[in-house]
Amino acid sequence: MKVLGINASPRGNESNTLQLVKSVIKGAESEGADVELIDLYKLQIEYCTGCGACYATGECPQIDDFEELFDRIVNSDGIVFGAPNYINSVPAPMKAFFDRLSDVVHCQMLAGKFGCSVSTAGGNKADVVVDYMNSVLTNMGVNVVGGLGVVMGGDPAAPQQAAGTAEELGKNLVKSIRGEITYPDQEELHRQNTEYFCQLVKSNKEKFAHDYDWYVRMGLIK
Q: What residues pair up with 36 in beta bridges, in sequence order?
A: 4
**What superfamily would CATH give domain 2-182?**
Flavodoxin domain (3.40.50.360)
**Full DSSP string of 68-87:** HHHHHHHT-SEEEEEEE-SS
Q: Given a cut of 90, is residue 68 above it in pLDDT?
A: yes
What band does 69 get if pLDDT is binned at 50, 70 and 90?
very high
**19-55, pLDDT tens digit by residue?**
999 999 999 999 999 999 999 999 999 999 999 999 9
Question: Which range is least confidently modeled, 147-161, 171-185, 188-202?
Answer: 147-161
Three-point CA angle 66, 67, 73, nearest 5°: 90
Q: Model's pTM, two decimal places?
A: 0.95
Using CA atoms, how far apart are residues 173 and 152, in angstroms rounded to an integer? 25
Give the pLDDT confidence score for residue 17 in this predicted structure: 96
Give the pLDDT confidence score for residue 159 in this predicted structure: 87
Q: Could you tell me what percentage of the chain is helix, strand and coil, using 3-state DSSP and rounding each to the nearest 5?
A: 50, 15, 35
Instruction: Domain ranges for the chain, please list them.
Output: 2-182
Q: Given a cut of 90, is residue 153 above it in pLDDT?
A: no
- Parallel, antiparallel or unpaired: strands 114-121 and 143-151: parallel
Give the pLDDT confidence score for residue 155 in this predicted structure: 85
